[in-house]
Amino acid sequence: MVDNCYGELVEKREPGHVGANVVVGSLMKNLGGGIATSGGYIAGDTKYIEMIADRLTSPGVGKELGANFNQNSNFFKGVFMAPNAVKSALKTQIFAAYMLQKMGFNEISPKYDEKRTDIIQIIELKTKKNLVAFARSIQASSPVDSGVYIMPAPMPGYPCDVIMAAGCFTEGSTIELSADAPCVEPYTLYMQGGLTYEYGKLSIMQALSSVLKEINK
């Protein structure tokens, strides 16, 4: 079984093409296209899908019935738009990696010209001030809650303060541009998404400008 969250439509082949019996993921990420407001998917070999469906609902009922929260229309619209959303997210992250390397932030993964297997960009920002400035700029350029002044804060499950930036049209959808980081050395930020390249590019430029201001203080 493969959890392919953040990886759908990034490579030419999906896990099922190379031997995975079951593939699972979230519709709040790639395949939801920024439209689905909830949900996930399970795909794979017939016999395993039938077993899983019986477990999630009841034997004999399986995947013929089950909760969909009246989301079917959003699910299908999201899947339809997903290829373009994933393309924009990849372009946004490649642009961010390129600009960060030009600014001397070389501890990033993947580099702008490296192969990508998902829509996540990992960035080491060297100092807490750089990290906070970058995350706050992502929040400030978000379509929703852009006026929220985010701060590092405790979060269940983490041994340190965490800062999170995400002001999404579809709340919680991380195919939309978002970023989060534990506020400890080496101050590594995890950024993903970007529903449109144009919006993603503007957000990254604003974030990098904020980091430059911190560096030049």
Q: Are 7 and 26 in contact (CB under 8 A)?
A: no
pLDDT of residue 68: 82
Strands (DSSP E) contained in the chain are 2-3, 22-26, 40-44, 108-109, 120-124, 162-165, 178-182, 188-192
Strands 22-26 and 2-3: parallel
- pTM, two decimals, is 0.93
Position 64 scores a pLDDT of 87
Distance CA 77, CA 157 (A): 34
Residue with tokens 């006026």: 147
Q: How far is CA 119 from the centre of its chain?
A: 6
Q: How far apart are CA 13 and CA 5, in angstroms?
A: 15
User: What confidence score (pLDDT) does residue 69 get?
Assistant: 82
What is the model's pLDDT at position 153?
96
Q: Mind listing the pLDDT tens digit of every residue in the chain (217 residues)? A: 999 999 999 999 999 999 999 999 999 999 999 999 999 999 999 999 999 999 988 998 988 887 788 889 999 999 999 999 999 999 999 999 999 999 999 999 999 999 999 999 999 999 999 999 999 999 999 999 999 999 999 999 999 999 999 999 998 899 999 999 999 999 999 999 999 999 999 999 999 999 999 999 8
Which long-range contacts does 91-94 make (Cβ < 8 Å, 24+ apart)? 91/194, 91/197, 91/200, 92/177, 92/193, 92/194, 92/197, 92/200, 92/201, 92/203, 92/204, 93/119, 93/120, 93/121, 93/191, 93/192, 93/194
Percentage helix, strand, coil for the chain under 3-state DSSP, each rounded to 5: 40, 15, 45
Tokens of 174: 């991380």
pLDDT of res. 67: 78
> Which pLDDT score is estimated for 113?
96
Q: Residue 56's closest CA among 41, 44, 71?
A: 41
pLDDT at 65: 83
